[in-house]
Amino acid sequence: MTQTLPEKVQQHKSPEVHTKLGSLRGTFVSVKGKEAGVHAFLGIPFAKPPVGPALRLAAPQPVEGWKGVRDATQQPLMCVQYIKLTYDLLEKFGATLPEIPDISEDCLYLNIYTPANRAPNAKLPVMVWIHGGGFAMGSASMFDGSAMAAYQDMVVVLIQYRLGALGFLSTGDEHMSGNFGLLDQVQALRWVQEHIHNFGGNPDLVTIFGESAGGVSVSLLLLSPLSNGLFHHAIAESGTAAMDLLVANDPLSTTQVDYQFRQKSDRCCLQTMQGRRPYQVWQYNKFILQPQLLSSIGV
């Protein structure tokens, strides 16, 4: 037990998991007090990158497969957010991370932690974590599921979803229904149902849990017909769908942030936003996060 983590990692062969999408190479993680350790698979895509006019500000689409063995040893890029605020909050709470990933629109990834000593045909309970952050900040990389996986003998999944304007901007109609971040969560749960058995998880024993905005998400997923059959237990911490101050009943008036938008059609507004760069869309967060963000119409 006196060995350093890098030394212990070198003694273990990099784990590989094979799915119908393709193969993944992860890493062995040492857990204090547990000799067996954990296999971590980081940055696994669960949807197509939500970039470009067709996929930005739209529902997520199923991910396509890949050839060969995909590297799953690096943390995924974080969804677009105000990075200085993220740094400031981490510092305020005394959180220390080896490194904070960059931000990108291409951010629909999840991390999986599974016991290294699991049986080949294991059907372990699955815990899916939905991070908080006011639907405006946060990432999978801010959390580590290795201790829970090792000590509780379960598979832990940490998901990411689009934030702020890129995840929740809405006109309240078919042009831009909104709540895309919530649809990302549903897509991640669909991926779990289809592939988690490859990591030793039981798709019939999935629990979703989250805090703050993650707790609100859990509560909303309990109410949404889109999530039927995707999970079996739920834990909402410090957040609930009953917090109506988060919900905009008239999202169009919230989205029409300036005179130019008010003078143009919803379709024109949508085409304009889809053609802008991520930060140009992100600047509208100062309007839509005051404080209503979720649309009562979309999803």
pTM of the model: 0.85
> How high is the pLDDT of residue 242?
73
Q: Which of 125, 112, 151, 150 is nearest to 207 (CA)?
A: 125
**Which band of pLDDT confidence, cut at 50, 70 and 90, is reported for residue 166?**
very high
> How high is the pLDDT of residue 173?
75
Distance between CA atoms of residues 181 and 167, nearest Å:
4
Whether the pLDDT of residue 3 is over 50: the answer is: no
**Which band of pLDDT confidence, cut at 50, 70 and 90, is reported for residue 288?**
very low
Burial class (CB in 10 A: 0-12, 13-18, 19+), 88: exposed
Mean pLDDT of 17-40: 96
**Which band of pLDDT confidence, cut at 50, 70 and 90, is reported for residue 251?**
low
> pLDDT (tens digit, 9 = 90+) per residue, 64-98?
999 999 999 999 999 999 877 777 777 777 776 66
Considering only 152-166, 220-234, 268-282, which range has the smallest mean pLDDT? 268-282
Mean pLDDT of 173-190: 91
Whether the pLDDT of residue 126 is over 70: the answer is: yes
> How high is the pLDDT of residue 97?
66
* Sequence ranges of the domains in the chain: 40-60+75-295
Considering only 76-90, 106-120, 250-264, which range has the smallest mean pLDDT? 250-264
> How high is the pLDDT of residue 6?
43
**Which carries the bigger pLDDT value, residue 289 or residue 190?**
190
Q: H helices within the chain, ranges in order?
A: 5-10, 52-55, 83-92, 146-152, 164-168, 180-195, 213-223, 251-255, 259-262, 266-275, 278-282, 285-288
One CATH from 3.40.50.300, 3.30.379.10, 3.40.50.1820, 3.30.590.10 for 40-60+75-295: 3.40.50.1820
Mean pLDDT of 213-228: 96
Cβ atoms of 208 and 156 closer than 8 Å:
no
**Which band of pLDDT confidence, cut at 50, 70 and 90, is reported for residue 186?**
very high
Whether the pLDDT of residue 150 is over 50: the answer is: yes
| DSSP label at residue 172 | S
